[in-house]
Structure formats: structure tokens, C-alpha cells
Amino acid sequence: MHSTTLGNLFSNVPEHLPDELFETLLKQGGIEIERIVSKGYATPENQWYDQSWDEWVLLLQGRATLSYQDEANPMHLKPGDYLLIPAHRRHRVEWTDPVLETIWIAIHWR
């Protein structure tokens, strides 16, 4: 039997954020669900994320621009937008809203 855990994705956002804040909400089996909070963040220039697992992300609040290394046009995300980032698809965060915290949900499976 599992205990019930109540949380709120929009609460407990620190006033001063590091570059990005990653919080694991659930990790079970090969699945990990995390909340990511960023404000005015961009991946350092010429750096690309290259993960060995698939990641599905949902933007809940704020705005962001994400790029794939193999595509010329970046994606501009608004609340409600989601996408699948396949394993080893090199990507980066180009921009997140500098005024309002950008809150994402990311689901990883391995």
C-alpha cells in the first residue's frame, strides 16, 4: 500500500533560484518525474544536453525557447506546450522568461 503525498507544483519556489532548480517528485522503477524551475536561464553557449534516456517535458508556467542541434528553428514554448526529447537528441535551453518563473514537469524513463 502506498501512502498519499499531497504537493503543489506552484508552491515552495525559492525567491532566489540557482541556474535551474531540479526536484524529483517521484522515482519508481525506470520512471522519474521531476519539477524544473528556471528564471532567466539559458544553457551556456555552445553546450548541448545529450541524455541517454527519453524525456517528456510539459511547460506549466512561464515561457521558454528550446533548440535541437540538428534543427535550424528553435521552439518557442508557452504554458500547456509539451514535447518528447528522444535519447541522444542534442538540445539546449536558449531562453526562459526573466520575469516569471518557468515551471516544467519532466518525465524520464530508462
Q: What is the pLDDT of residue 16?
A: 83
Task: Look up the pTM and report it.
Answer: 0.88
Domain spans of the chain?
20-101
Q: What is the dihedral of CA 32, 23, 59, 45, to 10 degrees?
A: -100
Q: How far is CA 91 from the centre of its chain?
A: 12
Name the CATH architecture for the domain at 20-101. Answer: Sandwich (2.60)
pLDDT at 83 over 90: yes
d(C-alpha 40, C-alpha 26), whole Å = 26
- Average pLDDT in the 2-21 region? 82
- Tens-place pLDDT, residues 57-80: 999 999 999 999 999 999 999 999
Cβ atoms of 90 and 50 within 8 Å: the answer is yes
**CB of 35 within 8 A of CB of 91?**
no
Specify whether the CB–CB gap between 101 and 63 falls below 8 A: no
